[in-house]
Amino acid sequence: MSKIPLSRDFKITPSTVNAAGTALDVYGLLLSDNELLPVGKVSEFTSAADVGAALGTTSKEYLATSLYMSGYDNSTVRPGAVLFGRLVRKDPVAGWLLSGSFKGVKISALQGVTGTITLMLDGASKTSTSLNLSAVTSFTDAAAAIGTAFGSGVEVDWLPVQSRFIIRSATTGANSEVSQAVPGAAATALKLTADTAATVSPGAIATSITDTMAAIVNQNQDWVMTASLVDLTDEEKEELCAWVSASTNRYAYSMYDTSEDATVANNESCFVQSVVIANGYENVFPVYGSYLYAVLALAYSASLNFNRTNGRVSYKFRAFSGIAPNVTDNATAAALESNGYNFYGAYGQNKTLANYVSDGAITGKFLWLDSFISQVWINANLVAAFANLFTNNSSYAFNAGGYASISAAVIDVATNAINFGAIRAGVTLDQAQINIVNDAVGTDISNVLYTQGWFFFIPQQTGASRTERSLDGAIFYYVDGQLIQSIDMTSTNIL
Q: How far is CA 474 from the centre of its chain?
A: 29
164 and 233 share one domain: no
Measured CA to CA, the distance from residue 341 to residue 267 in angstroms comes to: 12
Whole-model pTM: value is 0.92
pLDDT at site 219: 96
Ordered DSSP codes for 438-479: HHHHTS--HHHHHHHSEEEE-PPPPHHHHHHT---S-EEEE-
* Beta-carbon contacts of residue 371 (< 8 Å; ≥ 6 apart): 480, 482
Q: What is the pLDDT of residue 19?
A: 44
**Residues 265 and 219 placed together within one structural domain of the fold:** yes
b/e 431-455 (16+ beta carbons within 10 angstroms → b):
eebbeebeeeeeeebbeebeebbbb
**Per-residue model confidence (pLDDT) at position 1:** 56
Q: What is the pLDDT at residue 315?
A: 98
CA distance 61 to 59: 5
pLDDT by residue, tens only, the chain of 495 residues: 566 565 656 666 665 544 433 378 899 999 999 999 999 999 999 999 999 999 999 999 999 999 999 999 999 999 999 999 999 999 999 999 999 999 999 999 999 999 999 999 999 999 999 999 999 999 999 999 999 999 999 999 999 999 999 999 999 999 999 999 999 999 999 999 999 999 999 999 999 999 999 999 999 999 999 999 999 999 999 999 999 999 999 999 999 999 999 999 999 999 999 999 999 999 999 999 999 999 999 999 999 999 999 999 999 999 999 999 999 999 999 999 999 999 999 999 998 999 999 999 999 999 999 999 999 999 999 999 999 999 988 899 999 999 999 999 999 999 999 999 999 999 999 999 999 999 999 999 999 999 999 999 999 999 999 999 999 999 999 999 999 999 999 999 999
Q: Tell me, what's the pLDDT at 12? A: 64
168 and 254 assigned to the same domain = no
Q: Are residues 430 and 309 in the same domain?
A: no
Asked if residue 487 is part of any domain, the answer here is no
Instruction: Please report whether residue 67 resides in a domain.
Output: yes
Please indicate, yes or no, if residue 301 is contained in any of the structural domains: yes
- Residues 189, 219 within the same domain: no
Q: Which amino acid is at 460?
A: Q
Angle at 486 between CA 482 and CA 488, to 5 degrees: 125
> What's the pLDDT score for residue 351?
87
pLDDT of residue 243: 99
Co-location of 44 and 114 in the same domain:
no
Among the listed residues 31, 366, 377, 41, the one whose alpha carbon sits nearest the alpha carbon of residue 224: 377
Give the end of a domain, one of 175, 201, 227.
201
Q: Are residues 348 and 217 in the same domain?
A: yes
What CA–CA distance (Å, rounded) separates 152 from 47?
Answer: 38
Question: Domain for residue 273, yes or no?
Answer: yes
Full domain range(s) for residue 59? 19-87+209-358
Please tell me whether residues 221 and 353 are part of one structural domain: yes
- In a domain, residue 494? The reply is no
Angle at 347 between CA 345 and CA 353, to 5 degrees: 130
CA distances from 484 to 277, 313, 316, 487 (A): 25, 10, 10, 8
- Domain assignment present for 443: yes
Give yes or no: residues 275 and 133 share one domain. Answer: no
233 and 123 belong to one structural domain? no
Asked whether residue 372 is assigned to any structural domain, the reply reads no
Cα dihedral sign, 249-253-257-263: positive
Q: Is residue 450 part of a domain?
A: yes
Are 344 and 242 part of one and the same domain? yes
Looking at residue 21, its pLDDT comes to 38
What is the tally of structural domains in the chain? 3
Same domain (yes/no): 59, 77:
yes
